[in-house]
Structure 1
Amino acid sequence: MGRPIKTTEEHIKDGTYRKDRHANRGVTLDALEEVSVPDGLSRDAKEKWLEIVPVLQKNGLVTAVDIPTLTDAFIAYGAAQDCLNAVLSNFSSIAEYWAQLNKFKDVDLIAKYNESMDIYKRTMEKYGVTPASRAKIKIQPKQEDEADNFIKALRGNG
């Protein structure tokens, strides 16, 4: 793995800044303070959203441009759960489902489940939801300004 890319500020501080190479490096997006559950998610997907997304949001990992990606991931999660629930409600086990599956006429719900969960897992890895991917994400602590400190002092929490 190569060395991490320096920010424009680091190049200026080190004296290595070149406008032709380092200007407009990266776009800074502000994290969302509040993230609501998107319309159209299944019950299972809403529950999972409320379990994961507020934690990501609290750590500053959710911006406005992340919402469509996260929504698609949770739609895939909901579809996966729907497939699994359909199999388990109609058969006593997955083995029984496999034994009775006519692959030429029926939709393979387990394959659809695996496909949907793969989409969900790959997206969640990008947000550090798995232990292995969490180690790769650097979270900068939220910097408090004077107004935050003043409000905390007024509340007695400072």
Structure 2
Amino acid sequence: MAVTWKLVVDCADPIRLAGFWAQALGYVLEDHSALIDRLLGAGAIGEDDWVLVNGHKALRHAAAVRHPDDPFEEATGTGLGRRLLFLTVPEPKQGKNRLHIDLHFGPENRDAEVEHLKGLGATVLNTVDEHGSRHVTMADPEGNEFDVQ
């Protein structure tokens, strides 16, 4: 049986990082307003645990993006398909990622997409041309590496 999964990214500012990756991937920010209302009503979170982002309630410690064509739970706003979840952790990133995302735009679009991603706050770390492949290694606003192919 295949397993349902999501990629979880530890970070300092989940709302900022979710915004970056939503734009980088063409994904949508998950709207957790209904979930937050339910958690507030149950006393599980307080008023200081959420903020308004683009008119929607967002948890300060967690934010997520999902593919726009994938299903989601209307009661929580949680994606049920391709999804990235960003969670606040107290420690900063240390060292190189052991897991990273490759963004495939094609050689004809790579340079334009690198410039687009730089405009969103990413930085170029390296251009790699080896083993018959060429890609640009970049870092998101918190230093998480990813490749643009």
TM-score (norm 1): 0.26
Structure number with greater CO (CA < 8 Å, separation at least 6) is: 2
User: Quick check: which has more Rg, 1 or 2?
Assistant: 1
Instruction: Name the structure with the higher helix share.
Output: 1
**TM-score, length of structure 2 as denominator length:** 0.27
More strand by share: 2
